[in-house]
Amino acid sequence: MLIGVVIISLTMYTSVLSRSRDFAVMRAIGGRRRDIAVVVVSEALIIAGVGLFIGFLMLAVLLNATAASSIPSYFPARIPPILAGGTLLVSLLGSLIALRVALKAEPASVFH
């Protein structure tokens, strides 16, 4: 879980840092800090959602492929929701540093 938080933190941090100017523009034209927060958190959740979809799709393929084998894969039904919840939590935790960077974007910085 810690590794997941670190990877997502770095990815989101790099992404947000490279777009600091865009966030400053959004603030200058009337965006509030909470509007910026919505953008960053939404991105984290979209990344998590896409990751979950791909992960579950691969899991389904694996389960299907091994269903007829003498050693079928077993995956309890209670695990996917726990994994999904954990992934979303990791993504949100991972986006906190990026969120801090994005919220620091000052609208005055768009003027030279």
Partner 1 sequence: MSTLRLIKIARDFSDGRQMRRVLFPTDLEFAGGELAVLSGPSGSGKTTLLSIMGLVLRPSEGRLLLDELDVTRLSDEEAATVRLRQYGFVFQQPMLIEGLSVMENILLAHGIRGGRAGHDIRLKAEGLLKTLGLDGTAHLQPRLLSGGMKQRASIARALIKNPSILLCDEPTSALDAESGQAVMGILKRIALEEGRIVVVVSHDARVFPYADRLLKLENGVVVSETREAYTEANKSN
Q: Which long-range contacts (CB under 8 A, 24 or more apart) does 44-48 make?
A: 44/8, 44/12, 44/91, 44/92, 44/94, 44/95, 44/98, 45/88, 45/91, 45/92, 47/8, 47/11, 47/12, 47/91, 48/87, 48/88, 48/90, 48/91
14 binds partner 1 (CB under 8 A): no
Please, what is the minimum distance in Å from the beta carbon of residue 19 to partner 1?
8
25 binds partner 1 (CB under 8 A): yes
Please, what is the minimum distance in Å from the beta carbon of residue 89 to partner 1?
24
Contact string 28-57 vs partner 1 (x = CB under 8 A): xxxxxx-x--x-------------------
104 binds partner 1 (CB under 8 A): no
74 binds partner 1 (CB under 8 A): no
